[in-house]
Structure 1
Amino acid sequence: MSKINAMCYHTKLTAEKEDIEKEFEATYYEPESYIPKEAINGFAFAKNPIVMDEDKGHIVMANWGLIPFWAKDDSIKKMTLNSRIETAASKPAFRNSVKNRCLIIADAFYEWQWLDAKGKEKQKYIIKPTDQEIFGFAGFYSEWTNHHNGENITSYTIATTEANELMAEIHNNKKRMPIILKKENRNDWLKGETLENFQFPYEVDLIAKAI
C-alpha cells in the first residue's frame, strides 16, 4: 500500500464551534479541544473533529491516519490517511473498519495541480462544495490500544473515489477526490449504506479557486 494511491492530505476548518455543532446537530465532548485551523496537514497526524456512527449526537477528536486494531505500532498511519472506497473492504488495513463509519468535519480542502509532467511546478487550489459551508467527508475509523503505554487511540481515514470532471483537471496526476457527503446522505453513510452507493458518479458540486 502506498500513500500516493489516494489524494486528500490537506484540509481546512475555521468555522465557529457553535456553527459546527448546529450544522451536525451534535455537541463537542471537549469544546476547549477545538482549535480552528486554516491548514490541517494529514502528515501531522493531529486530532480533528469527527462524528461517529455509534454516537451521532457528539463530536469527538480523532487522529488522522487510521491504525487498525491489530497493528503492533502506529507506523501504518503514514499510509492510511486515505482509503480507496472501491477496495477498502478487501484491504487488510481497512477491511475491519469499513462498517465503522464517521463524518470528518471540514469547510474546505486543498489540492495541487501538476503544471509539468513530473510535478516540479504546481498550482495550489482551495476546494469546497457550492451548497455546504461546513461539510463531512465520508470516513472510516478504528479503535487501537498502544500496547506499550495502554493509551486508547481513535483514528480515521478519508474515503476517496474516482475524480469528477473538475477534480480530474486539478488532481491531474492521480485523478482521485475525497468523498464529500451530501447533507441529506450523512445519516445514510453513518447507518452503513453500501459503499458502492458513494462511489463516483456520486458527488457534490464543487468550486475551486487557485491560491
Structure 2
Amino acid sequence: MCYRVNTNFSIKQAEKYYDAKETDLDYQPEDEINGFSHPKTAVILDIAPTEILTAQWGLMPIWAKEDFLKKTNTLNAKIETAETLNSYKNSTKNRCLIPVKSFYEWQWQDAKGKNKRKFEIAIKDSTLFSLAGIYSLWENPETGKELYTYSIVTTKANELMSKIHNIKKRMPICLAQNNHKKWLEGNPLEDFSFPNLNPNLAAVEKSENLFAELFPL
C-alpha cells in the first residue's frame, strides 16, 4: 500500500517537470507526510494537465457525508477492484498525477510486524515522479464548498517491492514522464498494473534519519 510520501520539492521543480503552472497550491512541502492526516498535496488533473492544483488525500465520493473519512480508508484504491467498489467506481475515469520525490514502506522482520525496516523508494535516477491517482470533486452538503479529493491506485508488487513490502506485496502505480499522458487520457487501468507496467524502482533503507545501502543488498 502507500500511506507515507515525500513531497519536499519546489514549485519551480514541479513546474519544469510537468511543463505546468502552479495555480492553487495550498500545501507545505514535507519530507514525510502521513496519509491518515488527510493532507492537501499538489496534483495534476486530467481536466487541467497544464495546471498544478491542490487536492486532499483520501477520496470522498460525491455521495459521501462530511464524516466519511473518519469511517472509511480511501487513501489507496486497488487497481483490481476500483471499478467495482462503490467508493471508487464513479471516479476511475477521473485521472490525476500526484507528484512525489519518493514514498515509504516497511519490511516486516517478524509475523506481527513488531520489528520493521523502513525504506524510501523512488523511480531510479529521478528527482521527481508521479503516483497514479483517481479523484472526485466533492461538495460539502452543509456549506456547498467544493473540494478535490484523491486516492492513490495500487497494484501487485514487482520484484523489488515484494522484498520490501513482504507481507501484503503491494505498491503504488509509479509513473515516469512517458506514462503521464497515457494515464491522464484514461487508458485502461490494466495497462498500468504489474507486470504490464514495471517501473524501474530503487530503494534505500532509512533508519534514525540515516540512509543505509541500496536495497536489495
Deviation for aligned residue 1:35: 2.3
Q: Is the 8 A contact 2:27 2:40 kept in 1?
A: no
CA distance in 2, matches of 1:174, 1:48: 26
Give per-residue Cα distances to partners, 1:44-78, cap 9 Å, x unaligned.
10100000000001011100000000112342474
CA distance in 2, matches of 1:34, 1:113: 29
Deviation for aligned residue 1:181: 1.0
2:45 is equivalent to residue 45 of structure 1: no
Q: Is the 8 A contact 2:157 2:170 kept in 1?
A: yes
Gaps of 5+ in 1: 1-6
CA distance in 2, matches of 1:92, 1:127: 31
The within-5 A match list for 1:3-152 is: 7-30=1-24, 33-76=26-69, 78-152=72-146
Give per-residue Cα distances to partners, 1:54-103, cap 9 Å, x unaligned.
00010111000000001123424741000001110011100000000000
**Which TM-score applies when normalising by structure 2?**
0.91
CA distance in 2, matches of 1:123, 1:49: 28
Number of residue pairs aligned between Structure 1 and Structure 2: 204
**Which TM-score applies when normalising by structure 1?**
0.93
CA distance in 2, matches of 1:192, 1:131: 27
CA distance in 2, matches of 1:53, 1:18: 21
CA distance in 1, matches of 2:90, 2:126: 31
Q: Is the 8 A contact 1:181 1:203 kept in 2?
A: no
Q: Is the 8 A contact 1:13 1:106 kept in 2?
A: yes
Which amino acid in structure 1 is aligned with residue 193 of structure 2?
Answer: Q
Q: Is the 8 A contact 1:106 1:135 kept in 2?
A: yes
Q: Is the 8 A contact 1:103 1:186 kept in 2?
A: yes
Q: Paired residue for 1:203? A: 198
CA distance in 2, matches of 1:55, 1:88: 23
CA distance in 2, matches of 1:74, 1:155: 14
Q: Is the 8 A contact 1:136 1:180 kept in 2?
A: yes
Runs of 4+ in 1 over 4 A off after TM superposition: none
Which amino acid in structure 2 is aligned with residue 90 of structure 1?
Answer: T
Q: Paired residue for 1:3? A: none
Which amino acid in structure 1 is aligned with residue 201 of structure 2?
Answer: L
Query: What's the C-alpha RMSD, in Å, of the aligned pairs?
Result: 1.2
2:184 is equivalent to residue 169 of structure 1: no
Which amino acid in structure 2 is aligned with residue 23 of structure 1?
Answer: Y
